[in-house]
Structure 1
Amino acid sequence: MPAGDHDRARRARLSLACRSGESRGSPRGSGCDVGGAACRRHRTRRARSPAAGDAGHRTGSTVGGADRLRRAFATGELLRPTDDVPNLVDLGRAVASASGAPVALRTRGAELLRDLIGEPSHLVLLLVDGLGLGLLERRSPTSTLRRLLATELRSVFPSSTASALTSLATGEWPARHAVVGWWTHMPTIDAAAVLLHYQRRSDGRPLDELGITPAQAFPTAPLIAQADRDTLSLLPREFVDSPYSRYASGGRPRRGYLTLRDAVDTVIERTRDAREPTFSYVYTPRIDSIAHEAGTGHPELDSAVAELEEVVEHLAVGLGAGSRLLVTADHGHLDAPVGRRHPLRPGSILDALQRVPPSGDPRAVYFHLRPDGAARFHDNFEGRFGNEFALLSIEELEEMELLGPGPLGDEARGRVGDAVAISLGASILGMPGVTGGRAWLAFSSHHSGLTPAEMRVPLLIA
């Protein structure tokens, strides 16, 4: 740890420990932050509710779904996305600030994370896709990953790679950056796109061939573009030149790697040889891929976490003087038992009431409904899936601030459709119109929901 940061980091850890008491599911408004007057959980939020007498009578109103979600938040079965606890949005702002970008931290969580980071000459962020906090909690308390754990962070909703990585890159919630799921509906083509692959979902056609520019797909600029230090993103070779990688790196240099150890050795050499401050970002998808295919209880996943631990040890020991290493994740994982995987079949009554196929993620599904079909859709969906999903109108989604504090931005509102189905646990929905859709249903584990297994992610600091 760079000289002079020890006391500040210790104070920040104590404060974060107090704040994270809510992160395991305590009702919002309980507990109190360190600092009394700085307490943010007791602030008054602007109330937004339907006009008197129209509850349950608005077009597309889904009375019951919101109440089920609130009960699940109160019991801790699900975790609310909130800026009242440290989260990935906070981390994105803290990292950008530590890299010299002129960024407003905005929340107490971001300020505390910024204190933990300190003033390193060389800042390294390792993003491990799918490394939920639960995977670390299975390891020995004396293991390196457990010993380096500084605090718990909360992901965004949907707890999906596309949404979470964009929140980390921009320091904004999905309500503002508008990447609202793995399959995001694009109004200009009236179809869903896989934004991280920059393709139309149904046929894989590149979005640029359909007239969509990166600025349209990703309307919020990444913060790292404003950094005043030498930056480098190290990504798997197959991703390094993608439109999303170019966007998320802020146009700064990128380098492809063959193995994670290769990337780590590049970072070590870079911090030892540099004559000016640096920021290095490393992304690895291996744990996420294994969890999807094999499930969270498979020995192969434990082996992959053990291998990651060796890489983190090697990196932490090898970094040059004045370096700080951060390790975090975009989301965790939750297994989907076979009996909880539900295909949405073409030709069904639900399908007939939709204007275009649904978008989003398996545990956060957006529906784009025919103008005259909202009430029938609600009744049919509730009858079939009401015990496993909460169906909300978009007004309710916004009122509950599930995509982040404040109102939906114009771009996000145009992408979320008319209703959203949110899993109350392990259940998933398989969508029609998805290339390889059956393969998605066959995955053993998924994410994108609000369960603690999916929403709780670690922040390791060395």
Structure 2
Amino acid sequence: MTAPSGGTPAPLAVLGPDHDGGRLADVLPSALAVLGVHGAADPLGLAPRLVGVRRVAVLLVDGLGWYQLSTAAPYAPVLTGLAVTAARPIVAGFPSTTPTSLVTLGTGVAPGAHGVLGFTVRVPGTDRVLTHTDWAADPSPLRWQPVPTQFERARAAGVAVTVVSRPEFGGSGLTVAANRGGDFRGAAGVDALAATMRAALTAGTGPTLVSGYHPDLDRHGHVSGVDSVPWRVAAAEVDELLARLVDGLPSDAALLVTADHGQLNVPAGHRFDLDTDPRLRTGVHLVAGEARVRYLHAVPGATDDVVAAWSAVLGDAARVRTRDEVVASGWFGPVAEEHLARIGDVVVICNDTYAVMATRTERPMASRLVAYHGADTAAELTIPLLVVRG
């Protein structure tokens, strides 16, 4: 995969937390600044470009990384045109995974503050591993993720706020954690999503914020691989969605399009299995995270031994660090004390196109996927921001 424009890092280069470009956490605060919400910061500098805009739609396309734009180009002419005229790269949070990024977008803060620190994490004080995408009401979303959302802030300032996503996501723990404050509208498929977002955007005359979520590109990337035939079909559907949203966009409206992460294909020869290698199981009490970023909770006193064993087995395929080292690196942002135990005693961050499977611990399908994400390469962390004015 090549970059859509020059001057960007190689897709598998590791990005640092000191990246000085825009971030996913900046998108909604900047949108609120455009809408005139008092005190809203505008780190992306959108307000001067969108003077007179009173309606903002934000669409998050799951899995549409910056480095997937050029891959999608043959199947997505509208997206390609916008990528040339209206796109800039920004970075998602770490880990580069959907639950973490959705809450980062919704709250406007880094993962260390909001606490949704991975696809799966240990519930402190228990042996339970919480899968954020299957999260209902336990633990309480308001306690697990205590930071007010940007949607709540917008509503308090008199902005009409609507969140549009798949009907089955309504009321889920992740939706409450990321999107509380918005009126939820269920919409399945491109047609319904486009129609529901446009209806909400044009329903009133006052300041309006609409957030939409489209998951299919990510799903087909995982199951079939980036640039597979199903992925290409999904890219064409994203293009149709953008065409419907852009066509007839009111003159006082703007559409912001972004993503939660990119993806990369992981070849069979680059897969380790922690459940079939006793060296990777020794001293490990509980495993969380996902294939590209593993959280290992060690038995008491075994942390150093786990670091040594995993470093020896994985070699250059991963960086094996203690929790304290990763927190100190700054990737999570400042981590609230109550969130620290959600991170493993040992954190394993895969390099290049390597991954660590858990064929017996996790659902079988998780080890049969083709594409993955979660780590800190440019391919996974770099996402687009497209800004379209009516």
Q: For residue 377 of structure 2, what is the aligned residue in structure 1?
A: 451
> How far apart are the structure 2 equivalents of 1:117 and 1:454?
29
What secondary structure sits across from 2:168 in the alignment? coil
> How far apart are the structure 2 equivalents of 1:22 and 1:297?
23
Report the CA distance between 1:271 and its aligned residue. Answer: 3.4
2:327 paired residue among 380, 398, 416: 398
Counterpart code for 2:31: V
The verdict on how the C-alpha distance between 1:333 and 1:142 changes in structure 2, with shifts beyond 3 A counting, is: closer
> How far apart are the structure 1 equivalents of 2:383 and 2:341?
29
Per-residue CA deviation, residues 16-66 of structure 1 (Å, 9 max, x unaligned), is xxxx987526xxxxxxxxxxxxxxxxxxxxxxxxxxxxxxxxxxxxxxxxx
The verdict on how the C-alpha distance between 1:424 and 1:99 changes in structure 2, with shifts beyond 3 A counting, is: same
Q: For residue 77 of structure 2, what is the aligned residue in structure 1?
A: 143
Q: For residue 282 of structure 2, what is the aligned residue in structure 1?
A: 352
Could you say which structure has the larger radius of gyration? Answer: 1
The verdict on how the C-alpha distance between 1:363 and 1:123 changes in structure 2, with shifts beyond 3 A counting, is: same
The 8 Å contact of residues 359 and 367 in structure 2, kept in 1 or not, is answered as: no
> How far apart are the structure 2 equivalents of 1:424 and 1:317?
41
The 8 Å contact of residues 75 and 236 in structure 2, kept in 1 or not, is answered as: no
Q: Structure 1 stretch 309-318 or stretch 425-434: which is displaced more? A: 425-434
Q: For residue 22 of structure 2, what is the aligned residue in structure 1?
A: 86
2:159 paired residue among 229, 232, 255: 229
The verdict on how the C-alpha distance between 1:249 and 1:408 changes in structure 2, with shifts beyond 3 A counting, is: closer
> How far apart are the structure 1 equivalents of 2:303 and 2:202?
60
Report the CA distance between 1:172 and its aligned residue. Answer: 0.9
What secondary structure sits across from 1:359 in the alignment? strand
1:291 and 2:221 are equivalent in the alignment: yes
1:77 and 2:6 are equivalent in the alignment: no
> How far apart are the structure 2 equivalents of 1:455 and 1:345?
28
Report the CA distance between 1:246 and its aligned residue. Answer: 2.8
What secondary structure sits across from 2:213 in the alignment? strand
1:215 and 2:151 are equivalent in the alignment: no
Counterpart code for 1:82: D
Q: For residue 192 of structure 2, what is the aligned residue in structure 1?
A: 262
Q: What TM-score comes out, normalization by structure 1 length? A: 0.76
The 8 Å contact of residues 76 and 236 in structure 2, kept in 1 or not, is answered as: no
The verdict on how the C-alpha distance between 1:113 and 1:80 changes in structure 2, with shifts beyond 3 A counting, is: farther
> How far apart are the structure 1 equivalents of 2:216 and 2:76?
24
Specify every segment of 5 or more residues in structure 2 that has no aligned partner in the other structure, as ranges: none
Q: Structure 1 stretch 79-88 or stretch 335-344: which is displaced more? A: 79-88
2:308 paired residue among 359, 365, 379: 379
> How far apart are the structure 2 equivalents of 1:98 and 1:155?
21
> How far apart are the structure 2 equivalents of 1:344 and 1:251?
41
1:247 paired residue among 177, 186, 204: 177
Q: For residue 419 of structure 1, what is the aligned residue in structure 2?
A: 346
Report the CA distance between 1:327 and its aligned residue. Answer: 0.8
The verdict on how the C-alpha distance between 1:274 and 1:391 changes in structure 2, with shifts beyond 3 A counting, is: same
Counterpart code for 2:79: L
1:160 paired residue among 97, 104, 109: 97
Counterpart code for 2:251: A
Q: For residue 119 of structure 2, what is the aligned residue in structure 1?
A: 182
Report the CA distance between 1:347 and its aligned residue. Answer: 8.1
Mapping 1:296-315, distance limit 5 Å: 296-315=226-245
Counterpart code for 2:293: A
Report the CA distance between 1:114 and its aligned residue. Answer: 4.4
The 8 Å contact of residues 307 and 321 in structure 2, kept in 1 or not, is answered as: no
> How far apart are the structure 1 equivalents of 2:246 and 2:36?
22
> How far apart are the structure 2 equivalents of 1:432 and 1:142?
36
The 8 Å contact of residues 126 and 327 in structure 1, kept in 2 or not, is answered as: yes
> How far apart are the structure 2 equivalents of 1:142 and 1:346?
42
What secondary structure sits across from 2:28 in the alignment? helix
Counterpart code for 2:367: L
Report the CA distance between 1:423 and its aligned residue. Answer: 0.5
What secondary structure sits across from 1:387 in the alignment? helix
Report the CA distance between 1:219 and its aligned residue. Answer: 2.2
Q: For residue 129 of structure 1, what is the aligned residue in structure 2?
A: 62
> How far apart are the structure 1 equivalents of 2:77 and 2:248?
18
Per-residue CA deviation, residues 238-278 of structure 1 (Å, 9 max, x unaligned), is 11231221332223210111222112112323334422221
The verdict on how the C-alpha distance between 1:115 and 1:81 changes in structure 2, with shifts beyond 3 A counting, is: farther
What secondary structure sits across from 1:342 in the alignment? strand
Counterpart code for 1:223: Q
Counterpart code for 1:259: G
Report the CA distance between 1:82 and its aligned residue. Answer: 3.5
> How far apart are the structure 2 equivalents of 1:320 and 1:226?
24
> How far apart are the structure 2 equivalents of 1:80 and 1:103?
29
Specify every segment of 5 or more residues in structure 1 that has no aligned partner in the other structure, as ranges: 1-19, 26-74, 199-205
Q: Structure 1 stretch 261-270 or stretch 364-373: which is displaced more? A: 261-270
Mapping 1:81-120, distance limit 5 Å: 81-82=17-18, 84-105=20-41, 110-120=43-53
The 8 Å contact of residues 294 and 348 in structure 2, kept in 1 or not, is answered as: yes
The verdict on how the C-alpha distance between 1:142 and 1:339 changes in structure 2, with shifts beyond 3 A counting, is: closer
Report the CA distance between 1:117 and its aligned residue. Answer: 4.7
The 8 Å contact of residues 343 and 431 in structure 1, kept in 2 or not, is answered as: yes
Q: For residue 70 of structure 1, what is the aligned residue in structure 2?
A: none
Q: For residue 133 of structure 2, what is the aligned residue in structure 1?
A: 196
> How far apart are the structure 2 equivalents of 1:323 and 1:104?
18
The 8 Å contact of residues 332 and 457 in structure 1, kept in 2 or not, is answered as: yes
> How far apart are the structure 2 equivalents of 1:142 and 1:128?
14
> How far apart are the structure 1 equivalents of 2:19 and 2:213?
25
Per-residue CA deviation, residues 115-160 of structure 1 (Å, 9 max, x unaligned), is 4454411110111000112221231699321322321111111100
Report the CA distance between 1:113 and its aligned residue. Answer: 4.0
Per-residue CA deviation, residues 58-77 of structure 1 (Å, 9 max, x unaligned), is xxxxxxxxxxxxxxxxx972
Q: For residue 429 of structure 1, what is the aligned residue in structure 2?
A: 356
Aligned residues with identical type, % of pairs: 26
Give the count of matched residue pairs.
Answer: 377
The verdict on how the C-alpha distance between 1:396 and 1:241 changes in structure 2, with shifts beyond 3 A counting, is: same
Counterpart code for 1:335: N
> How far apart are the structure 1 equivalents of 2:80 and 2:233?
16
The 8 Å contact of residues 114 and 146 in structure 2, kept in 1 or not, is answered as: yes
The 8 Å contact of residues 425 and 449 in structure 1, kept in 2 or not, is answered as: no
Report the CA distance between 1:102 and its aligned residue. Answer: 4.4
